[in-house]
Amino acid sequence: MEKRILLAIVILLAVSAFTPAATRLVPGDYNTIQDAINAAVDGDTVLVADGTYTGDGNRDIDFLGKAITVKSENGPENCIIDCNATDAERHRGFRFVSDENHNSVLDGITIINGYTCEYHISELFKGSGILCIGSEPTIKNCYLSNNYSHAILCTSASPIIENCTISDNTSFEGGGINCRGRSSSPLIINCTITRNAAKFGGGIYCDSSGTPVIKNCNISENSADSGGAVFCYLGVFSDSFITITNCTLADNLSPKGSALACKSWSPARNKIELSNCIVCDEIFKDDKSTITASYSNIRGGWEGEGNIDADPCFAELGFWDANGTPEDANDDFWVEGDYHLLPGSLCIDAGDPCYVPEPNETDLDGYPRIINGRIDMGAYESDYIRARLWLSPRTINRKSRLKRVMAWMQFPKGITKVQIDQDQPLLLYPGGIEAELQYVFEQGKKGDKGVRISAFFDKAELMEAIPDNGQVQLEVVGYLTTGREFYGTDFVTILDRQQAWKCWLGR
């Protein structure tokens, strides 16, 4: 009898171990998201259908320490939690306060209109979008907008915040993300943090003795009295170490450190390390804070290996539009910038030459983090492929009998002949002149072949596009079959016949 009982227990345990995780549908199986979480066990998925969710059970949602996934069915654009909160009736989206780990996943939810009390003595009453206390959840593919008092608050917490858009939130400290408390060390990766406002740290506020990591993020158009993009304040006795890598900080506003402001209370010290970043705004630090930088484009310059101070050549900077009434600032509105790099930017292929991406690491657009063999500075890897270009002749006489200008392009390794879109003619700029003839061929030993293109352009069209003589930079542009653009640049000198004669005489 005992053997039978033991065998039955073993079989029961074996069956339980292989019980498949359940998918709990909202609102199909449960009226509210909280109802589904209450019924879920570790490993389950709460799948939330398209719609806008409001009211009790669909706000102030607690994961209850469970290793489950709460996920939208069709992305954050279609699944919205509207907290409908006010100063008189305060609510947030989610809270993680029961030792949740990275297996507690919030995926693809929009959270709007949260409102909590930033000045309450208890942390439990703060964090209007998402509250994390002593927990390590994974928050990914979420949108947080129009929340008051920290869109995300991390108190002695180390969540993974990945592929999130955090915009138009307000707070006293950290309009977008607030990291505070001992050993609060979030990983903030591939996020867009924009148009948030606070007194300190419009985008991100760090008051922690932990090691926050900010990577592959666009932190732009935020505003604060101090630290427009990021504010670091250390008022405890343990040092903090903040790493900011592959990020773009641009068009942030603050009278003190529009990009980054750091303040330490002795004897604790802030240590901030920037690498592969574009920082177009100002940096402020006190004498107790240390900021090191490498392979970064920093406004005003910064000491460190590989650093530059140059126009990053963004596709478009953000700006205030007067709305046709420059005398009335009340109807002005902000036009968002586009912080992708244009061809020719000195930030392209200028990051750390020894940088090794994490497995499957991407830039903010989802492209491989290294495209041309060396990482770019900033949050976006340039989608353009730079080819080496030679033009012939190097000196062009306007009045000579020459009919065509010849271009040779050599591609970096990894590009194959079949990837070149041969149905689209190459274009020569200025003028956008189409190639009259072009040939794609492979050159080199078997197994190590490179791809080249030779093309011919009409000289007369080029002379019309370049009215002045002298040295000029020309650009040849083409496309791969995937639609990605490649380009190359080279210089030629334009002369007329009389100038050419004088050059020949050495005058």
Q: How far apart are CA 466 and CA 14, in angstroms?
A: 79
The token pair at 246 is 């592959």
The model's pTM: 0.78
* For range 143-152, the mean pLDDT: 93
Instruction: Dihedral sign for Cα 461, 466, 467, 471, please.
Output: negative
Percent of the chain with pLDDT over 90: 63
Tens-digit pLDDT profile for residues 402-429: 999 999 999 877 688 888 999 999 999 9
* For range 94-118, the mean pLDDT: 95
Confidence of residue 15 (pLDDT cuts 50, 70, 90): very low
Residues of the chain with CATH 2.160.20.10: 20-321
CATH number given to 385-505: 2.60.40.10
Residues of the chain with CATH 2.60.40.10: 385-505
Tens-digit pLDDT profile for residues 182-201: 788 999 999 999 999 999 99
Contacts of 367 (CB under 8 A, 6+ apart): 381, 383
Q: Average pLDDT of the chain?
A: 88
Q: How far apart are CA 77 and CA 284, in angstroms?
A: 37
pLDDT of residue 499: 57
Which of 61-75, 114-128, 297-311, 392-406 shows the lowest mean pLDDT across its residues?
114-128
- What is the SS3 assignment for 491? strand
Distance between first and last Cα of the chain = 114
3-state secondary structure 353-377: CCCCCCCCCECCCCCECCCCCCCCC
* For range 357-372, the mean pLDDT: 88
- Res. 503: pLDDT tops 60: no
* For range 106-118, the mean pLDDT: 93
pLDDT of residue 121: 54
pLDDT of residue 504: 47
Confidence of residue 2 (pLDDT cuts 50, 70, 90): low
Q: Which residue has the higher pLDDT, 17 or 304?
A: 304
Percent of the chain with pLDDT over 70: 89
Q: How far apart are CA 231 and CA 245, in angstroms?
A: 16
* For range 463-469, the mean pLDDT: 92
Alpha carbons within 13 A on the beta-carbon side of 283: 21
Confidence of residue 268 (pLDDT cuts 50, 70, 90): low
CA neighbor of 296 nearest in space, from 259, 256, 327, 251: 259
- Res. 354: pLDDT tops 90: yes
pLDDT of residue 16: 46
Contacts of 249 (CB under 8 A, 6+ apart): 219, 220, 229, 230, 259, 260, 277, 278, 279, 280, 281
* CA 355 to chain centroid: 17
Confidence of residue 472 (pLDDT cuts 50, 70, 90): very high
Q: Given the DSSP bridges, would you call strands 177-181 and 204-208 parallel, antiparallel or unpaired?
A: parallel
Task: Mark 2-23 as b/e (b = at least 16 C-beta within 10 Å).
Answer: eeeeeeeeeeeeeeeeeeeebe
pLDDT of residue 73: 97
Q: Which CATH architecture has domain 20-321?
A: 3 Solenoid (2.160)
Q: Where are the beta strands (DSSP E) in 40-145?
A: 45-48, 51-53, 61-62, 69-72, 79-82, 94-96, 105-107, 110-112, 130-133, 138-140, 143-145
Largest CA distance in the chain: 115
pLDDT of residue 238: 66
Q: How far apart are CA 249 and CA 65, in angstroms?
A: 35
CA neighbor of 216 nearest in space, from 34, 354, 339, 111: 339
pLDDT of residue 208: 75
CA neighbor of 62 nearest in space, from 135, 4, 166: 135
* For range 221-234, the mean pLDDT: 92
